[in-house]
Structure 1
């Protein structure tokens, strides 16, 4: 097969799909709004069929080399004393890998074959039966045979083709801050969690024993805070954690000083259809299940593989491939979104 494909988003879904489509003979370009590969402080999980996809890409040994082999998650009370323990999934169950390592490995696996354009974004999409004309903020416009939105929860492609975010993004009642700080607790292969109704702290150390990764989650009424300034986001978190015990005051001070601060809300994307003509969505852009489902990376990886497989089977006929891709994935997506919504309900309990 041949043809020119544009993928918006250099994340798990976008770069995985780029790998498979290049192998099928497509000319693949990936446009990414960020100036460089996105890092990401949280761990992402690969399980079930996702492990087979990684193996097919030749990346499973490298992902295993970067796996976070955590011993346990210890629950901490307000006095800093252990109050219980949560089991962690073993390597046999799957892999937990830092998002930064995942994106780096996926990029290195495709960089020689795929055209990557960073620090640019789509500004207009004009579709017809024969192709898709795309305008960019920086580069000159080009025409493609297919355009694929793999650009996350607030997908630019989805907004241009399907409608505003409010029509598809469902807030699940919590938002989180992530950053790194000095590992003053001396964490090794264990993680710590401190929770009270409507707020939660999760700490763990990864490759660098001198640093720990901090996640602070708070109850929120909408994803509006995602669009606020950092100062406003920090103020919201401090207000929600007012009066909390244990290490929280020190963590809030570390948040203020962190150069790698990030903020995001737990949301789901629900859509009646994932394609429109020659444009199709994959990963979080189409069916985000929220972090509470623990399935986002696997969904993205499997979704990209299924979409590429349906295009191969249909000899590139998108009118057959896109509906088949959706039929194959809908059942598992519905199940994962249900799990994510149920898990979010327990947050404020």
Structure 2
């Protein structure tokens, strides 16, 4: 049975790995000419996605690639708060790692690359109801199923579902690459005020550092997604005068070779499947970039989709609805968490900034057991991404060869 996956970032390679394990023939098409190395930001894996990674045999490599950030020092005017991140993560997760997105993508890609056909430098132009796929560059081919794992701006979703409204969560974020000397291994330095926060960090294995800018906006701003000059100006305008150090960081906007900018928005599709096509990860249910645990959700979604397809013997009329039912609670809870987090991570008022830093400081000084107990009282709050239920597909019989 032939399955085409669009996208080779996180969900795509994870899905491809598990589908080949179950006996499916898998092709992944990726628009980029090679595996993307965009200088992206750090992402979090929580317990369910860590377990899936362990089953894939890649957990040791993921842990070796961890950023190793131990402390976060937050400057809010004249007040400075230092937070031991290990304490925070122990409270919100029983098994967690922070890793650079590019590193994680490469690790998942390497895990299954020998059994998967990868088509780089191409994209899907059209999909017919019977599975005929026209490519932008390559010859047309027939597939039994097509999966969009191509992110928030999914091409597959656009082709099959048309234009879908995104729910604006009130903010924007940007990530740029800067000289490694701007940061210190193990430390993240942040400056925060009402409606805006800027931070810098690095990792021992990186040859650069990453600057992250998050800022609030009451209404969506007017800009084109390809107009990077306009986007850089928006970042300058939002952060000018926050602190002398941040002003020095802003000067890097003119020198950086890597610049990523996006809106913090959420998809609220009621279904992710139509005919022979389904969506996974941000393409179908992005809870919100930078606020909703979308990386862990993508890993769990990919694993679940593969497991349900194998359980149904490849019958998508059974597998796709089962996949959506299995993921419904996790997606709903992640969406709700992201809405709250978008307001909390970058508070809109000075009082909110104080409450955030003091709350983190309080959690930081509590004994580990007490902090964990407090967090566990609400599995849909701080521990929402650690509490996702994942089915066991270990007994599923692979398709006959």
TM over 0.5: yes
1:199 maps to which of 191, 196, 208: 196
Deviations 1:81-137 (A, max 9, x none): 62343634259531111111101111111221111111211111111xxx3111111
1:8-19 superposed matches below 5 A: 8-19=6-17
1:295-334 superposed matches below 5 A: 295-334=293-332
Shift of 1:78: 4.0
1:188 aligns with 2:185: yes
2:341 maps to which of 340, 343, 346: 343
CA distance in 2, matches of 1:113, 1:5: 13
CA distance in 2, matches of 1:136, 1:223: 33
5+ residue gaps, structure 2: 350-401
Is 1:177–1:264's contact at 8 Å kept on the other side of the alignment? yes
Match of residue 89 from structure 1: 89
Shift of 1:242: 2.5
1:48-63 superposed matches below 5 A: 48-63=47-62
Is 2:176–2:259's contact at 8 Å kept on the other side of the alignment? yes
Deviations 1:225-263 (A, max 9, x none): 461411111111111122221311111111211001111
Is 2:47–2:94's contact at 8 Å kept on the other side of the alignment? no
Structure richer in helix, relative to its length: 2
Match of residue 172 from structure 2: 175
Match of residue 104 from structure 1: 106
Match of residue 252 from structure 1: 250
Match of residue 365 from structure 2: none
CA distance in 2, matches of 1:54, 1:181: 30
Is 1:154–1:165's contact at 8 Å kept on the other side of the alignment? no
1:1-349 superposed matches below 5 A: 3-39=1-37, 40-78=39-77, 82-85=80-83, 87=85, 88-90=88-90, 93-127=95-129, 131-166=130-165, 169-208=166-205, 211-220=208-217, 221-222=219-220, 225=223, 227-346=225-344, 347=346, 348-349=348-349
Rate the CA distance shift 1:135–1:186 in 2: closer, same or farther, 3 A.
closer
Rate the CA distance shift 1:333–1:251 in 2: closer, same or farther, 3 A.
same
CA distance in 2, matches of 1:162, 1:307: 19
SS at match of 1:329: helix
Is 2:72–2:187's contact at 8 Å kept on the other side of the alignment? yes
Is 2:65–2:99's contact at 8 Å kept on the other side of the alignment? yes
Is 2:76–2:193's contact at 8 Å kept on the other side of the alignment? no
CA distance in 1, matches of 2:205, 2:13: 26
CA distance in 2, matches of 1:196, 1:9: 37
My pick for the range that moved more, 226-235 or 142-151, is 226-235
Runs of 4+ in structure 1 off by over 4 angstroms are none
Shift of 1:41: 2.2
When the two structures are superposed, what TM-score results if normalisation uses the length of structure 1? 0.92
CA distance in 2, matches of 1:154, 1:113: 27
Q: How many pairs align? A: 341
SS at match of 1:109: helix
5+ residue gaps, structure 1: none
Quote the RMSD (CA, aligned, Å).
1.9
Structure richer in strand, relative to its length: 1
